[in-house]
Amino acid sequence: MFDSEIKKELSTLFSEIKFDEPMSRHTTFKVGGPSDGFLKAGIREAVLAAEFCVKNNISYTIIGNGSNLLVSDKGIDGLVICVDSNMNGARAEGTRIYAEAGLRLSRLSELAASESLGGLEFAGGIPGNVGGAVYMNAGAYGGEIKDVLSEVTFWESGEILTKSAEELGLGYRESYFMHNDCIILSCVFNCIPRPENEIRADMAEFIRRRKEKQPLEYPSGGSYFKRPVGNFAGKLIQEAGLMGACVGGAEVSTKHAGFVINKGDATCCDILQLEELVRKTVAEKFGVELEREVRFVGRR
């Protein structure tokens, strides 16, 4: 909880800051208690806010549009810096696309298509933004961010740095940013010329598959578990007989067992208890330890 002096300073720096903001309003899971402070930030504001927090020994959390995120029912200590609609600039130059971290992936792939630039077709239906996608090296339908990423500009330890994709340790749901205290600010993507009609045909097919196979009609964090080596989490969960398993308002989707959904009144606690049930059952039946892909943040 911020004291009155910190609240005053933050309010002076950022006119749109909110205090005790329910995080359920800012996650695709629609769960989560209050953050001490919540700020939608552009590049300048994000850097200024992080440096203020470091100077005043305040914890801070970076989020995007709230997908792939599970927030504690007890909320989040410190300041949540939301890199979303206030950081969404983008432009194409030749075969390169320059995008700020808050740009939605759907808009990124649409820009690429309109410029007849291929390589980002897979990203069109992913419910996240550029920064989050780089943070976790998001991927779908055979494509990954690392396949098209050229470089990233980010804040770290008081400096603005730029690193090439090769320097960022990008692997399956893995990157440099998961292990270092950074704010991704902007990215450059290298694309390949391709006819717009072919790009749009692939994008439409990927979106059709998502609608057909994923429970998009319910709040969720996306695929809940990482893919275990040599197998698929959803397949193991389904074969363990867990489709439709519930704890409170949380349910293993009956449409795709790799998704945990919020049926309408789920809490973070419900979701974590259901996760534990799934992990334990799959381990007992198949000897496979499932690992959460969704990022948990907040008070324990």
Which pLDDT tens digit goes with each residue over 173-229? 999 999 999 999 999 999 999 999 999 999 999 999 999 999 999 999 999 999 999
User: Rounded mean pLDDT of 265-284?
Assistant: 98
Element (H, E) at 108: helix 105-114
pLDDT digits (tens, 9 = 90+) for 27-77: 999 999 999 999 999 999 999 999 999 999 999 999 999 999 999 999 999
Q: Does the annotation count 44 as an active-site position? A: no
119/134 Cα distance (integer angstroms): 15
Task: Look at residue 85 and tell me whether its pLDDT is greater than 90.
Answer: no
Average pLDDT over residues 275-286: 98
Comma-separated ranges of CATH 3.90.78.10 domains in the chain: 215-297
Residue 173 CA to residue 128 CA, distance in Å, equals: 14
Share of the chain above pLDDT 90, in %: 96
Provide the pLDDT for residue 248.
Answer: 98
Range(s) for CATH 3.30.465.10 in the chain? 90-199
293 counts as catalytic = yes
Which residue of the set 109, 151, 173, 253 is catalytic?
Answer: 173
pLDDT of 240 higher than 90: yes
pLDDT above 90 for 135: yes
Instruction: Kindly name the residue from 24, 67, 175, 223 that is annotated as catalytic.
Output: 223
Of 21, 115, 251, 293, the catalytic one is 293
Indicate if the pLDDT at residue 300 is higher than 90. no
Whole-angstrom distance, CA of residue 23 vs CA of residue 69: 10
- Looking at residues 249-262, what average pLDDT do you find? 98
Q: Is residue 259 pLDDT above 90, yes or no?
A: yes
Q: What is the mean pLDDT of the chain?
A: 96
- 126-134 average pLDDT score: 94
Structure-model confidence comparison of residues 237 and 127, the more confident one: 237
Q: 125, 204 in Cβ contact below 8 A?
A: no
In Å, what is the CA distance from 96 to each residue of 31, 119, 151, 188, 228? Answer: 37, 11, 11, 7, 34
Q: What is the per-residue pLDDT for 268?
A: 98
3-state secondary structure of 109: helix
Which CATH code for domain 90-199?
3.30.465.10
The type of residue at 91 is: R
Task: Please write the tens of the pLDDT for every residue from 141-184.
Answer: 889 999 999 999 999 999 999 999 999 999 999 999 999 999 99
Fold of 4-82: 3.30.43
- Residue 268 CA: distances (Å) to CA of 20, 69, 245, 255: 18, 11, 16, 21
Q: Both tokens of residue 137?
A: 């090296």
pLDDT score recorded for residue 125:
84
Q: Which CATH class is domain 215-297?
A: alpha beta
Per-residue pLDDT at 245: 98
Predicted TM-score (pTM) of the model is 0.94
